Amino acid sequence: MPSSLDALNHWVDAVARLTTPDAIHWCDGSEEENAMLAARMRDSGDFIALNPETHPGCHLHRSSPSDVARVEHLTFICTRDPEDAGPNNHWMAPDEAHAKMDALFAGCMRGRTLYVIPYCMGPIGAPNARCGVEITDSPYVVANMRLMTRMGAAALARIEREGHFVKGLHSTGELDPDRRFIMHFPEELAIQSYGSGYGGNALLGKKCHALRIGSWQARQEGWLAEHMLIVGIENPQGETHYVAAAFPSACGKTNLAMLIPPERYRRAGWKVWTVGDDICWMTPGPDGRLWAINPEAGYFGVAPGTGKGTNPNALAMLDRDTIFTNVGVTADGQPWWEGLDDGTPAKDWQGRDFDPANGPAAHANARFTVSAKQCPSWSPRAEDPQGVPISAIVFGGRRPSLVPLVIEARDWTHGVLVGAAMGSETTAAATGAVGVLRRDSMAMKPFCGYNFADYFTHWLSFDKAGAKLPKIFHVNWFRKGADGRFTWPGFGENLRVLEWIVGRCAGTRSARETPIGLLPRAADLDVEGLDLAASDLAMLLDVDLAGWQDELAGIGEYLETFGPRLPAALRREQQRVAAALDEETRPRARAATG
């Protein structure tokens, strides 16, 4: 009787014939294997051992200066029908993509070892976990995948039981930017990546599988694969509400996932539990609620800006068994990046003697890879096969004006509109232009593996008889006053907003109705001890009707870019909110002219 691993063995054989490696190594995820690979990389220079007294088990990896970030313009969704990929993705025909990639992969592993990495996204025993196998010629990828996924023998056993898996093929190639592509074949549940060793391009379990292929699987199977953190908020009564939250980059996502309550809240008994910092898979449960797992087992976080003042929980987990990529190093071999309070860099991320004239010591996208269990706020529920029940879904962006501190959507359809319309405004330092709004629906623009219009339809489909869906909110920590400074203090003080959110979910907090949703009154938020003027709080909770009329018009124009596949219900909801704003402004206009 054929083994259920026959398909895997045949695929590995076919890849080996194409790539012609010198050896094949099946990864088991063991400590012994990890130690062997680390030693091999130290010998080759791919790993640099850091100070064993201050950072035992920690290594530094320096990547090619031309290979330091995701390459969205070289990332493709390869579906038979280009409309299935949608205007939110770069598309290439599958036959063309396979031909291009086969030519790149031909003979590319000559002189190298081919590593076979069986992995599981999600707890091994979770019904909603999904398995994959990544073939790579990079031991750095193996070491990172061991931290980021449930990798090795247990995953292989699950693949053998289930008989199916996502196929990922990766080679660093020559690290030539002109020979670099990341191809996704959702109809084949396959990924191919060539020419990059950077995490988002090379750790195929992460964005490629967990979001691009995962979102396609989720639509086929009736669940959601989202670019969201998962955090548990425990109140003094011992009740924990779990919140899933989506933010574009530079909006405090990891800080929120590992939030430390303000001292007064800690004394009262509030606790925050980290289930995940980046990706959330949500499935309707028998009780009608959405239950979420974190498909990842580790964090691949941005190092610069992580410090005692911004994210002490993140900093506390990085003193052992961590892989650092493209950070600086002190004279005594400790990792260093901008945002740390201690130490002085001796070498920069390229290995040069540190000179401020060459730029920062750490690359702006320098990373750390670490097991999630090392986080002080890690929740044991992260390994619960059933997952955690989601009380609230929170969207957020960086909006210096207009958008209030927090808004509750009136219902699920309105919440989908709120998520679809979310975005952040750019700054001059980042783009050369101030106030340019970039829409990033559900923070999934770079990661949704199919047409956004179909994605919105899928979201709307969860509102059905018997569903007990989470409430949906939008937050904005980044509103600025006339002085150009952030008005809300942010960081741990964001728990004050989360307190209102979970209170709304529990039915214990009040709100006022506005055309754009439900907002707290000033008295509904606990601001005791904050240096926040009453006028500033009023500004944070104000609804600028004229400004929102323009905003809704812009949202309507954005939605129309998705063409005839856009669900009519979403268009009607945008029109409903726009009409409510118009209705609200008419009496004021009459009063002003009377």
Dump the DSSP string for 3-70: -TTHHHHHHHHHHHHHH--SEEEE----HHHHHHHHHHHHHHTS-EE--TTTSTT-EEE---TT-SS-
What number of CA atoms fall less than 13 Å from residue 251's CA on the CB side? 28
543 and 512 in contact (C-beta within 8 Å)?
Answer: no
Nearest to 449 by CA among 278, 294, 219: 219
Nearest to 521 by CA among 531, 513, 532: 513
459 and 444 in contact (C-beta within 8 Å)?
Answer: no
Q: How far apart are CA 351 and CA 52, in angstroms?
A: 19
Q: Is 251 a catalytic residue?
A: yes
Q: How far apart are CA 500 and CA 584, in angstroms?
A: 26
How many residues make up the chain in this entry?
A: 594
Q: How far apart are CA 464 and CA 470, in angstroms?
A: 13
Q: Please give the single-letter amino acid code of residue 206.
A: K
Q: Considering 131, 251, 448, 505, which one is annotated as catalytic?
A: 251
Nearest to 513 by CA among 414, 442, 590, 422: 414
- The angle that helices 568-593 and 412-421 make with each other, rounded to 10 degrees, is 90
The answer for residues whose C-beta is within 8 angstroms of residue 235's C-beta and 6 or more apart is 241, 269, 270, 499, 502
Dump the DSSP string for 480-501: B-TTSSBSS--GGGGHHHHHHH
Q: What is the largest CA-CA distance in the chain?
A: 87
Active site residues: 251
